[in-house]
Structure 1
Amino acid sequence: MSQDEKSFSGRRRRMKTRWTVAAADVLSEFVITVGGIGTIVAVMAVFVVLVARVAPLGLPASITGEVSRETHWGSAKPVHLAVDEYRTIGWVLFDDGRLESFRVDNGEKLGETRLFQDKKLSAISTSVGRGGLLLGFLDGTIQFADVHFKTSFIDAVNAPEEFHGMKPGELATYKPSDDETGVIELTSQGQYRLQVLESSAMEPLKVSDKAILMLDHVPEAASGGNSVSVSKDDRKYVSYSADGKLRYGLVLEEEDFLSGDITLKNDMIELDIAEIQGERPQFLLQTARGNDILLAWKSGQMVRFVRENGENGFRLAPAEKIDLLPDTDAELTVCDFILGRETVFVGDSDGGASGWFLVRAAETDDPEIQARKTSDGFTLARVHVLQSAPGEKVVSMRASERSRMLAVGYESGRFRVYQMTTELLVLDRHLPGDVPVVSAMITPKDDGLLVESTKGLYLWNFDPRHPEISVAAAILPVWYEGYPKPRQIWQSSSAGVEPEMKLGLYPLISGTLKATFYSMLFGAPIALLAAIYTSEFTTYKVRTVVKPTVEMMASLPSVVLGFLAAIVFAPVVESFLPFFLTTIVAVPLTFITAAMLWQLMPRRIGLILEEWRLWFMVPALFLGLFISYQLAPWVEHLAFDGNVKSWLDGKGNGVVGWVMLMIPLAGMLAFFVNGAFINPYLRMHAIKWTRSQFALMSLIKFAALVLLAFLLAWGVSSLLYWLPTWFGGSPFDPRGTFVDSYAQRNSFVVGFVMGFAVIPIIYTIADDALATVPKHLRSASLGCGATPWQTTVRVVIPTAMSGLFSALMIGLGRVVGETMIVLMAGGNTPVTDWNIFSGFRTLSATIAIELPEAVENSTHFRMLFAAALVLFVITFLINTAAEIVRLRFRKRAYQL
């Protein structure tokens, strides 16, 4: 080949190489650009999906599909009206005993029956979500009755032929028997659903010689649907009659074991209330327990009676007298229970509305409530104040059968829907023409509104959205029923619909931060110090063994660590708690003492053993554990009054609790004193000292500083604990703050185990960051006479600070999003304390547990997505702040 051909071939190869490199550069740039943009788009898409799921929580309620018509009963006034959960059948009861059923969609009368004969109704007691009634009559008798809807399903093949052409959702009147008429509907599943009204009544009971004016009773638990069987064993009731007497009764069913006949036994007591208030009361209520009787007057005065058991049976005793309408001249117009029969709705003639329930006075933070003296320690408190309608008289209130909503009707034609727990005004509307409202009710499934006026009935489809939650209720304390003061609680499930839904996110956020803090407190120092040690002080051979070994720890699945934490570590730590507490102090001190003793070794021997220096830490570790094991009983006896868990529960004094907090602070102070005063002095006077003399002085100095730190911590702790007693107060006990009662699955165990999960990540990134520091910086520092430790602290670490900070932030993100370890070992208790010995619940663990069982698009379902959104925002803010700080550290490193 000629010279020209060789030159041409070389140019071709170089040209091909340049094109190949250029194509690779273009392709790499394209892939990196697409990958980067794709990552940003993916993150934004996650954010958009979370926001889309959470946004409906803030949407307002709506009503659609208005249907209005005149009532078939004309000018007659029913004493009670109800509809079934499918909004197909309604029923009305009149004071002469007529019970009429009708179709809700067109008002067609379906049937009529008599619930009682030859009596005049004078009082009635109903209950939200129950079909049981208690009727009171002018002749002084009462009668328990039951009115409920019976639901049955008919397959399409067995349905009558005249209904075969029905479309899904279409209604038709159907008479399955001579004495039954119901409404049939074709469901979307192809079945025919038949709704029929059923009723029954017990024998009347004589309770008074005068007319029954007011009644209330505690219904038994539902036996299915809305039905309440009238064959229950006992019933509690309270009545007020025209003779001015309040009667409390317990009706028991007694069955003759020979004949099977059932007789009713009425165990009753009475109380004359004429002396309590001069005028006749207007409202009578009985709480769900049946032990508290509330009697209210038009003026707003209420007297609460409690049932007390004595040697001769039980009796009613006045417990307190309160004013339901303080600071107003309005009259009490509505006073009734909402769902659960614990919270009382109070409405007045001036449009005011509020919610009251019993609280334990001694445990509240309100001085006015605490000042009330009652016989049982409880008092009625106005907890919820709802938005008023000034100048508009409240005439009715009907509570929802499955939530804390209630429908309120006004004389002006306005009707409103409130949510009692969150105090939200869910809906505010007026009837056409502002005709007066007789009653307003929410249908059983919370999907409709039925308003009765003087002109007829109005029915709407109702979508309340999510009134159970608001921004304030999710973050701030809420005063829930049965609690003495507002609290932040997450409790998304319950045995029934009566308890309030508690969806406060603060306990979950607090638990996430608590788990993060204690995990990083354990893992971050170990990981960073290990990275510094292997990078700067060990040989290359040791580093090639240690680093892969630590990185292999990252391969341990979280579920395995969580399982070990819950099943192995948690019981062991509980059994040997004094040992583990002593180990936290004894093992580090043993390691440092061993290092000091290593310096006392002759230089020649130290250089020979330098390669094996790391492995000499193993005997030091076991020695520290042995010392901890030997000291643990003494420490428990002297510091914790003989039992750590009993001490945590309040036994003995709490000085040691402050010592646990003060030891790290005292150690930092000793470190500062050493660097600011002791070391400069020693540098001036130890120029002629030998290496052994200086090592011995370092050991003595370390022992003195440790002793100083312990004495200082104990002295300050004693001062903090006993200082309030000098002024006549009680000791300032730390128990109840960062230390308190011990739970087996707690933050101490989680921090220890999750530290092992996060150590490999922080260690690897920190070690790589330290390795990237140019060697000439180390050489220059060592050449100027600095020791390896001085070089590491003052040159290497500041240069690698951006990488070290990134390692911490990545580890922090790993801990914040951890699920399985905190799920299995954290106890899953949504508490808000920072007690290291108690459990917690994190955002991620809550999502993992509850999302699979949450009803899609329910408030609970969307709040779980809100928890995910909060976790996303927390992580985003942490990463953003970390990047800003990292860039600042990098800028400073470039200046070195």
Structure 2
Amino acid sequence: MSQDEKSFSGRRRRMKTRWTVAVADVLSEFVITVGGIGTIVAVMAVFVVLVARVAPLGLPASISDEVTRETHWGSAKPVHLAVDEYRTIGWVLFDDGRLETFRVDNGEKLAETQLFADKQLSAISTSVGRGGVLLGFLDGTIQFASVDFKTSFIDVVDAPEEFQGMKPGERATFKPSDNETGVIELTSQGQYRLQLLTTNAMEPLQVSDKAILLLDHVPEPGGGGNAVSLSKEDRKYVAYSADGKLRYGIVAEEEDFLTGDVTLNNETIELDIADIQGERPNFLLQTARGNDVFLAWKSGQMVRLVRQNAEDGSGFVLSPVEKVDLLPDTDAELTVCDFILGRETVFVGDSDGGASGWFLVRTAETDDPQLQERKTGDGFTLVRVHELESAPGEKIVSMRASERSRMLAVGYESGRFRVYQMTTELLVLDRHLPGDVPVVSAMITPKDDGLLVESENGLSLWNFDPRHPEISIATAILPVWYEGYPQPRQIWQSSSAGVEPEMKLGLYPLISGTLKATFYSMLFGAPIALLAAIYTSEFTTYKVRTFVKPTVEMMASLPSVVLGFLAAIVFAPVVESFLPFFLTTIVAVPLTFITAAMLWQLMPRRIGLILEDWRLWFMVPVLFLGLFVSFQLAPWVDHLAFEGNVKSWLNGDGNGVVGWVMLMIPLGGLGAFFLNGMVINPYLRAHAVKWSRPQFALMSFAKFAALVLMTFLVAWGVSSLLYWAPTWFGALPWDPRGTFVDSYAQRNSFVVGFVMGFAVIPIIYTIADDALATVPKHLRSASLGCGATPWQTTVRVVIPTAMSGLFSALMIGLGRVVGETMIVLMAGGNTPVTDWNIFSGFRTLSATIAIELPEAVENSTHFRMLFAAALVLFVITFLINTAAEIVRLRFRKRAYQL
């Protein structure tokens, strides 16, 4: 080949190489750009999806599709009205015993039955969500009865021929027998749903010679037909009659063993109201337990009576224990006083539009001094907990509570009707009837999907979408006063056995649990990981480092579920059984290592240089020595510090000085560190110029021993002062138990901190080691050449230079801990508490999402609150990462300046 051909071939190869490099550069830039933009878009998409799921929580309620029609009963006034859960049929009861069934969609009268005959109704007691009713009559008798909706389904092939052509959602009147008339509807699933009304009544009971004026009773569990069936359950009732007597009764069914005949045994006690207040009461209520009875007057005065065992053991008595003014700040009259769902919270409405909610609070458990002063015989007091938005000048005439939530519908004389949510105190809906016709009654249909308002013009029915009144921004973050609690609390409790308990969806316990798990895990894992990275990078040989680093990185291959399983099944029981040993280990093992390091310096220099490469392996026997020392000291520590039983001490036995010592030892150690660096070391450097190496090593060991002893003595002295100082002023000792140390639970933060710290060590260690390895060698060489020791070089040159990488390692480890699910799920106890007790459990945001999201009803309040928890976790992680990046860039800038 000629010279020209070789030159041309060379140019072509160089040109091809340049084109290859140019194409690779373009492709690399394109891939990196697309990847970066795609990452940002993906993160933003996650944020948008979470916001879209959470946003409906803030939407207002709405009503639509109003249907108004006249009632078939005309001007007659029913004493009670109810509709079924499908808004198909309803029933009304009149004071003469007539019970009429009608279609809700068109008002057609379906049937009429006589619930009772030859009597005049004078009082009635019903209960939200239950079909059982108690009737009181002018002749002084009462009668338990049930009026229930019966739902049955018919397959398409079995449906009567005249209904075969129905369309989904279409309804028709159907008479399956001579005694039954109902409504049949074709559902969207292709089944015919038949709605009927069933009634049942027990024999009347004579409780008084005068008319029954007020009546209330505790419905049977489950309600329905079982409320009056032969269930052998006691039925509690309370009745006020025209003779001024209040009668509390318990009706029990007794069955004859031989004949099977059932008789009713009515055990009653009487109380003359004139002994309490001369005038006739206007309202009578009985709580769900059946032990508390409320009497209220239009003036707003309420007397609470409690059923108690008689002192002579002859039975029980009804005693007044408390008198409360329900309308303390107004001259209005009490117009409505009734229970909402659960029969614990009393709704109070007045003639001036005021509305509030009251329930019993245990005075011994509240922090409110005013409530503590209200001493009662049973330790409870009635408190106005919820203040609902008022309608000044508009008289409240009715209230009907929802059968499945804490909502209630309130009707006004002015034609206004409102829907409130009692727990959150939200005004869910506020509307007026056309023409401002006075409201007779307003009710929420059983599924909370409709509003039925009765007025002089007839019945008005709307489709109702309340959205999510159970939650608001305030109730999700701030304390809420839930029914049965002595004061406002922050609680997450999304499930219960029935609909009566309030839904508690406060996010603070989950946020607190997430931060608690993060703090204790990083407290254990971060120092070990960083110190291990510094040691292997700066103080070991290359051969040892190539062995240690892959070994530590292999720890990251352990699945979280395995670590969580081991923590829950193995570690937690072991830690509980040997708790004094593990508490002693936290202090004894580090001190053993430092003591061994001090003794190493006492070794002759020649021998030390020979053993230098094996120094790491000498740590293994030191570790076992530290564990042995801890094991030997544990019984002494348990006896001297915890009076022989750590768990009993945590529960309050003995004094709490040791609790403060746990906190003071780390603080005392920091104080000793600064004292050593700022006072002792400068003095020794000034006076130890002529000391030999053994002399200086011996002085260092003596200094270390003295600082350790001083730390313990100062910690114990300060702790004793903190504990006993309040007693000098006549107060109780300042006991730390109940704060960062308290009662012991097997699955707790101590166990999780150890296991999750173990899981996060490989991540922090690897990134930190890589960051230290990138520090230029000439910086180390320059420092060592100036006479600095390897430790001084590491602390003052290497670590500041690598600080941005070390900080990134910590932040990545922090993100790993914040998002951890399986370990905290299996070993954290899943108790949504808000304390920082290291020996108690917690519940994190991620664990809650993992547990509850698969079971949550789609688009329910619970479902959306779980997405709100995910959004909070997203925001926390985003803020942490943003702050970490800002700090990392600052460290990086300072490193360049070095």
Amino acid at match of 1:47: F
| TM-score relative to the length of structure 2 | 0.99
Equivalent residue number for residue 425 of structure 1: 427
Deviation sequence 1:791-846 (CA, Å, 0-9, x none): 00000000000000000000000000000000000000000000000000000000
Q: SS of the residue aligned with 2:868?
A: helix
Q: Report whether the alignment pairs 1:330 with 2:332.
A: yes
1:220, 1:232 within 8 Å by CA — same for their partners in 2?
A: no
RMSD in angstroms over aligned alpha carbons? 0.7
Deviations 1:563-599 (A, max 9, x none): 0000000000000000000000000000000000111
Q: Is the 8 A contact 2:200 2:228 kept in 1?
A: no
**Residue in structure 2 matched with residue 222 of structure 1 by the alignment:** 222
Structure 1 residue 260: Cα displacement: 1.3
The residue aligned with 1:533 is: 535
* Letter of the structure 1 residue corresponding to residue 113 of structure 2: T
Q: Quick one: which of 843, 852, 855 aligns to 2:857?
A: 855
Partner Cα distance (2:49, 2:712) in 1 = 54
**Residues 471-482 of structure 1: pairs in structure 2 closer than 5 A:** 471-482=473-484
Q: For 1:386, give the aligned amino acid.
A: L
SS at match of 2:247: strand
Measure, in 2, the Cα distance between the counterparts of 1:494 and 1:392. Answer: 37
TM-superposed deviation, 1:223? 5.8
The one-letter code matched in structure 2 to 1:458 is S
Shift of 1:230: 3.2
For 1:42, the equivalent position in structure 2 comes to 42
Aligned with residue 513 of structure 1, among 504, 512, 515 = 515
CA distance in structure 2 between the aligned counterparts of 1:280 and 1:391, rounded to whole angstroms: 26
Please list, as runs of the form range in 1=range in 2, the aligned pairs for 1:822-837 lying within 5 A after superposition. 822-837=824-839
- Secondary structure (helix, strand or coil) at the match of 1:167 reads coil
| TM-aligned CA deviation for residue 222 of structure 1 | 1.3
Check the 8 A contact 2:130/2:223 in 1, yes or no. Answer: no
Counterpart Cα distance in 1 of 2:524 and 2:767: 18
Tell me the SS of whatever aligns to 1:395. Answer: strand
Task: Judge conservation of contact 2:220–2:226 (CA < 8 Å) in 1.
Answer: no
Amino acid at match of 1:146: S
CA contact (8 A) 2:400 2:409 kept: yes
**Mapped partners of 2:268, 2:51: distance in 1:** 59
Structural mapping, 1:721-732, within 5 Å: 721-732=723-734
**Distance across 2 between alignment mates of 1:9 and 1:576:** 79
Q: Is the 8 A contact 1:146 1:230 kept in 2?
A: no
For residue 254 of structure 1, give the secondary structure of its aligned residue in structure 2. Answer: strand
Q: Secondary structure at the match of 1:829?
A: coil
Amino acid at match of 1:215: L
Q: CA deviation at 1:366?
A: 2.3
- Work out the CA distance in 2 between the residues paired with 1:307 and 1:352: 31
From 557, 560, 568, the counterpart of 2:559? 557
Q: Indicate the SS of the match to 1:666.
A: helix
Give the conservation status (yes or no) of the 8 Å contact 1:809–1:879. yes
Provide the secondary structure at the position in 2 that maps to 1:312: coil
Give the Cα separation in 2 of the matches to 1:260 and 1:828.
50
The one-letter code matched in structure 1 to 2:138 is: L
Instruction: Indicate the residue corresponding to 2:370 in structure 1.
Output: 368
Match runs of 1:406-425 below 5 Å: 406-425=408-427
Deviations 1:582-634 (A, max 9, x none): 00000000000000011111111111111110000001000000000000000
* Equivalent-residue separation in structure 1 for 2:725 and 2:808 (angstroms): 43
SS in 1 for 2:143: strand
1:620 corresponds to 2:619:
no
The AA in structure 1 aligned to 2:286 is Q
User: How far apart in 1 are the matches of 2:72 and 2:652?
Assistant: 69
Judge conservation of contact 1:148–1:227 (CA < 8 Å) in 2.
no
Paired-residue identity, %? 89
- Cross-structure match for 1:759: 761
Q: Residues 147 and 227 of structure 1 are in contact (CA less than 8 Å); yes or no, is this contact kept in structure 2?
A: no
Q: What is the CA–CA distance in structure 1 between the aligned matches of 2:280 and 2:672, rounded to whole Å?
A: 77
The alpha-carbon deviation at position 370 of structure 1 amounts to 1.6
Counterpart of 1:93, as a letter, is L
1:9-30 residue CA offsets vs partner (Å, 9 max, x unmatched): 0000000000000000000000
CA displacement at 1:231 relative to structure 2: 2.5
Any conservation in 1 of the 2:639–2:645 contact (CA below 8 Å)?
yes
How far residue 368 of structure 1 moved from its aligned partner, in angstroms, is 2.2
Say if 2:21 is the partner of 1:21. yes
| Cα distance, 1:232 vs structure 2 | 2.9
| Aligned-partner Cα distance in 2 for 1:263–1:315 | 24
8 Å CA contact 2:650, 2:741 repeated in 1: yes
1:203 aligned residue: 203
- The corresponding residue for 1:57 is 57
1:317 to 316, 319, 332: 319
After superposition, residues 486-885 of structure 1 pair within 5 angstroms as: 486-885=488-887
Q: How does 1:165-314 map to 2 (within 5 A)?
A: 165-222=165-222, 228-233=227-232, 234-310=234-310, 311-314=313-316
The residue aligned with 2:485 is 483
Q: Name the CA distance, whole Å, in 1 between partners of 2:97 and 2:389.
A: 38
Aligned to 1:377: 379
SS in 1 for 2:153: strand
Secondary structure (helix, strand or coil) at the match of 1:813 reads: helix
Q: Is the 8 A contact 1:448 1:460 kept in 2?
A: yes
CA distance in 2, matches of 1:745, 1:367: 36
C-alpha separation between the residues in 2 aligned to 1:221 and 1:696? Answer: 79
Instruction: Report what 1:75 is aligned to.
Output: 75
Q: Which amino acid aligns with 1:818?
A: E
Aligned pair 1:399/2:398, yes or no? Answer: no
Provide the C-alpha distance between the structure 1 equivalents of 2:371 and 2:229, rounded to a whole number of angstroms: 40
Asked whether the 8 Å contact 2:201–2:228 carries over to 1, the reply is: no
List per-residue Cα deviations over 1:532-561 (Å, max 9, x = no partner): 000000000000000000000000000000
Matches of 1:771 and 1:288 in 2, distance apart? 70
CA distance in 1, matches of 2:895, 2:259: 98
1:227 Cα offset (Å)? 6.3
The question of whether the paired residues in 1 share the 8 Å contact of 2:345 and 2:483 is answered with yes
Q: Which of 447, 450, 456 is the aligned partner of 2:449?
A: 447
CA distance in 1, matches of 2:115, 2:595: 91
Letter in 2 for 1:120: Q
User: Separation in 2 of the partners of 1:378 and 1:322?
Assistant: 12
Displacement after TM superposition at 1:275 (Å): 2.5
1:134 is matched with 134
Secondary structure at 2:376 match in 1: coil
Q: Deviations over 1:90-138 (max 9, x none)?
A: 0000000000000000000000000000110000000000000000000
Contact kept? 1:131, 1:227, Cα under 8 Å: no
Distance across 2 between alignment mates of 1:802 and 1:105? 71
Paired with 2:368 and 2:443, the residues of 1 have a C-alpha distance of 34
Deviation digits for residues 173-192 of structure 1 (CA, Å, limit 9, x no counterpart):
00000110000000111110
CA distance in 1, matches of 2:133, 2:230: 13
Distance 1:64 1:146 in 2: 33
Residues in 2 aligned to 1:101 and 1:230: alpha-carbon distance in whole angstroms:
22
State the match for 2:2 in structure 1. Answer: 2
Q: How far, CA to CA, are the matches of 1:773 and 1:452 in structure 2?
A: 81
* AA matched with 1:68: T
Partner of 1:126, secondary structure, is strand
Q: In 1, distance between residues paired with 2:840 and 2:790?
A: 42
- Indicate conservation of the 8 Å contact 2:450/2:461, yes or no: yes
Note the C-alpha offset of 1:262.
1.0
1:90 corresponds to: 90
Unaligned runs of 5+ in 2: none
SS of residue in 2 equivalent to 1:520: helix
Aligned pair in 2 of structure 1 residues 227, 397: CA closer, same or farther (>3 Å)?
Answer: farther
Equivalents in 2 of 1:373, 1:651: separation in Å?
A: 29
